[in-house]
Chain A
Amino acid sequence: MSDDKKTSELSRRGFIKVSAAAMAAASSPMFFTKGAWAANEFRNNPGDASSVKFGFNVPQTGAYADEGADELRAYQLAVKHINGEGDGGMLNTMKPLSLKGNGILGKKLEYVTGDTQTKSDAARASAKRMIEKDGVVMITGGSSSGVAVAVQGLCQEMGVVFMAGLTHSNDTTGKDKRRYGFRHFFNAYMSGAALGPVLEKEMGKERRAYHLTADYTWGWTQEESIKNTTEALGWETVAAVRTPVGAGDFSQYITPVLNSGADVLILNHYGKDMINSLTQAVQFGLRDKQVNGKNFEIIVPLFSRLMAQGAGDNIKGILGSTNWHWSLQDDGSKAFVKSFWQEYGFPPSQAAQTCYVQALLYADAVERAGTFYPPEVIKTLEGHTFDGMGNGPTEYRAADHQCFKDVLVVRGNENPSSQFDLLKVEQIVPRSQVEYDPAIFGGDLGPYEV
């Protein structure tokens, strides 16, 4: 009996011990390699493939096709440099740098392209196609905030990182920010903050401003940001008139400015609208006008050299802000301008620079993370600080995935030395002046795992 009892006790203890040991043994590989296990599960994992693909989603048709073409040129150059071809461009100046010039994690970088048409639905459809059919590990590009917000939402749902191209609305990294979306380009708030002191210095504290605003999300956020800045200076806002996108002839919106008592016209327009409204405002003699004993001034808060080309001589002397300009003399800018100009015969636009940098930053983050697994890449990008890419020391703020860096205040060049020399950098506004609390725009980044 006693033997039986002993045997029984031993057996139970033994069973528990063995079970515990077995469970621990069985679970330990899972516990220690949890990341690796999940990493094998993620969408479009390149695994052992010898190559990996990026999806360049840019406007190839429609009003922003020229800007899209410039973005694509920059991406093609970035692919070359990442694969170790060409002169290396910013890979020679980027700090810190993990890329080795042999692709990403030893895999050759390839790409597919999609056409956003500058329409949210078309942009989402082409991004979806590139993710599902072409198996891209990252989507990047675009030339509109509406598109950026739409594609960013899709990328979050599908678990693919989105590196935004040219998008200037506060919403992209504000109320519509996403864990999988990153923006290198500056935003409307920063334009306002950068322009404020310059406007005060140039135009004083007693001004009456009249806004003409493109009637959609980007226009509204820019109007709000610039109004906040100018009203804080003491300026009065006489009127803020919304104009339909693509109005063409703005004469009926410009003539009321003449009799409004305003002495500053702020054009919250981009692209074709900016070209047309600025051209027509100058034709109406606004720049030669004197109101309230002061010279009438026009401000275009978001400038682009490509768009400035469309406005011709009308851009001369007009103040605005921009993310980057090819005439900057830092090593990163010079390296990029040289590569781009020698490849294509003309200097890159600000859209090209932001796209080129975005492609490099993602590739470098993967190299550093040692995996394409998106949550790890995202964590590597969050809070990442870097330099040598044309904008001075820059940080990808973890709280909203917005890059913080210096902002350029520019003026239309009065005496351009060539057809590319349209904007003159007036001031490089330090990062500290354009920083803000991420809480002011709200929004929620969402989860790492989707």
Chain B
Amino acid sequence: MNYETSILAVSIFAAFVLGVLGLSVWLGSRPQSAGGYFVAHGQVGWFVNGVAFAGDYLSAASFLGICGMIAFFGYDGFLYSIGYLAGWIVALFVIAEPVKRLGKYTLADALNSKFNSRGLKLVAAISTLVISLFYLVPQMVGAGALVKPLLGLPHWAGVVMVGGAVTGIVATAGMVSTTWVQFIKGTMLVVFCALLMFLILERGFSLPNTPIGQDEVQSYRKDASGVIVNGSPLSAENQLDTKLRAAHGVGFGSIAQLPDGVRATGPLGPIAFIETFSKSTVTTWKKGTDAAGATTFTPVERKGADLLLPGSSPTFKGVRDDRIASKLDFLSLMLALFLGTASLPHILIRYYTVKDAAAARKSTVVGIGVIGVFYIITLYLGLGAMTSGALDPTDSNMSAPLLARTFGNTLFAVISAVAFTTVLGTVSGLIMAGAGAVAHDLLCDVFKMELSDREQVRAGKLVAVALGLIAIVFGVLFEKMNVTFLVGWAFNVAASANLPALVMLLFWKRTTKQGIIAAMSIGLVGSLAWILVSADTLEKIYGFSAADAASRALVPFSQPAIVTVPLGFLTLIVVSIFTSTGITKPQTSPGIA
């Protein structure tokens, strides 16, 4: 794909990003106590906190990943939107107010509020760190994907830029600054995506200049002499979509046939847009490999109505399969999305940045409103990208920015800058959660180090730098993964490790500290182990072929939540029963005696 840089685009991008950074650092530049550094003194207003919730939550997975998945596979990306939003219902009705009442700085504070156990703090801190790292990886991958087309820089450069900027934010100003980054980013994301949706509806759908033939396979391969695209060396004049554009006036992703035989629809309303798409035929591109080992992209015409059904992507293909293991994989991911949101450490700590339970509740409602609007918009962005003629078939994460480029370089730069600040906002929140877990939970409470307020803040900043470096390394290693797919794993681990402990602590009086420690340990280790030996990991991380991965996998499906969440609840109940004081008095119970 042709990723030429434009001085205008780079200037707008730089102004946007530096403006957001400068504003947030200025707003958060007051001297910091530990309470100020980790939870912004608990004095953030509920509305600002609600929008910051959206800024924290709407990560690279939501913007780049979901748009990319819808652009490549249709409805399957929207399933993530539905699941991510539904998770906020658990947060609002089950978790928000009690967690606010129980905690101070971190998830471990809430879980340990009744027990004062070092063991529990240790497990909760480890859980926070692992989940935060899992969630950090896709954000960094998203950052790398962004700078490639905009600045002409390699993937690793984007990862380093985000890592450096975020570490700077967190290490200088803490949660106050992070809150403002997230507030500004949340607002900009929704406003500019709404603008993009408006432009998509105004443009409507149109056909390519000439129909794309089923035999027009595009290919590329890398050899010792460099990258060969469609039989000739890669150059500015010979990109993967060059032949297509010359022949048909569009690149990858276009409408093949519109209803009623028209060539262009003109402007459409939101309902008419979906209806027209549903009745159209779309040219999608199937990835494969030819006899010479080149990667090929073959045009496949698909009915719009079929693309608005689940099961087109590798992640959700089990829906169309009659095997029970495939169904369970789908159910498990949808369960993880539903239960994972309320278990994410960087979301939970935002309940401590407001002053009371009522503010926690109100800010969650604001968050649901902003996030809901955004997820409805993502459907239009994804379908707009799918038919924009501007997709990069090698990188689904670039679909939304490339869609923006079809409306001009200025919008491309603005959307890319918004996406970049999206990554900044989420990564800031994740690093804050990790810094709090290490500095507050591990150093002070587990290792009993006597740290003054100032020393806690300093320790938090050092941890932030370390986490930033680790995230940079992972972001480079996982370059080719779809960011939404990676985030799905983080949700599985979060739901398995944290949710049983949180729910039972709040609603079952016989819960013991041993029960919580056991449930969190089993949930964390169990879900991680399941993921590491699953077919998806064998294929996408270890590089096995799909058939080899399926035969070597040690678990019947790849998403663990449907097994590991109930396992966490069961572990907590059994261990709590055996360790609660009411039961450990066998002498008084004739049945046990």
A and B, one complex? no
